Amino acid sequence: MLQISKLNAWYGASHALQDVSLEVSKGEIVCLIGRNGAGKTTTLKSIMGLMGRARGSVTFKGEELLRQPAHVRFALGLAYVPEERRIVQGLTVRENLRLGLVASKEKKREAELIDEIAAIFPRLAERMDQEAVTMSGGEQQMLAIARAMIAKPDLIMLDEPSEGIMPVLVDEMFELFRSMKAQGTTVLLVEQNVELALGIAERAYVLDHGAVVHQASAQALLADDEIKERYCSV
Ligand code: ATP
């Protein structure tokens, strides 16, 4: 579904990604792991079209995306939930969810889609008319994920979804990822909590200094203490 080949990206003169190649098949959960600064966020941003300078190839459902702007990638079925969530202040939970449909061809079905997403995220269903930024960090993260899911993307990229969230909500969130997968959504996940992430993923790529240094099945990586110690913050 997603194929990245020899992807390079720069911040000014700094060469942040160097020949990154990876692929994600339909229905998989694939995890990107590596220490702080390894290039995980930059990889997701490059896939979504948010890096000023990127070279190489990013194909999604057979289409080359590298020259396409982010809104075209969104329309093709890619979604990205950045680490910083971007919940809009002054808007309720429902209004934030509506923002997820602004550029979507599903917009006419807004009320129905909000009901559907509320059924998947009961914590949000109870808080639809609450100002979103008054919720806990974990609930806001759920909202950011729900807002990306409401337009029914084929592939969702999540950057550190468990960051700063209390354990009970993290468990709930990971259960949710399993059910997203069961419903056919493909997931590319960046996660510091390597054990947890590998517990739900099929495969993983390890990044270091902007390059892929290892790839393996999640099961093999879970058992590989040497790689985990060398490249991951565990
Ligand atoms: P983290 O978990 O800390 O976010 P990461 O693996 O996601 O780590 P990236 O954020 O992709 O890493 O960063 C890759 C490299 O690019 C790092 O050396 C980082 O300092 C640099 N970098 C990231 N964002 C910028 C930016 N806006 N301007 C300049 N350099 C940046």
Q: What is the DSSP string of 120-178?
A: H-HHHHTTTTSBGGGS-HHHHHHHHHHHHHTT--SEEEEESTTTT--HHHHHHHHHHHH
Give alpha helix (H) positions in 26-109.
40-48, 70-75, 93-99
Q: Is 52 in the pocket of ligand 1 (CB under 6 A)?
A: no
Ligand 1 close to Cβ of residue 185 (< 6 A):
no
Ligand 1 centroid from CA 209, angstroms = 10
Is ipTM > 0.85 here?
Answer: yes
pLDDT value of residue 233 = 66
Give the pLDDT band of residue 234 (cuts 50, 70, 90).
Answer: very low
**What is the pTM (predicted TM-score) of this model?**
0.92
Ligand 1 atom with least separation from CA of 35? 6
Q: Which residues, 6 or more positions from 107, have their beta carbon under 8 angstroms from its beta carbon?
A: 101
Tens-digit pLDDT profile for residues 67-110: 999 999 999 999 999 988 788 889 999 999 999 988 777 778 88
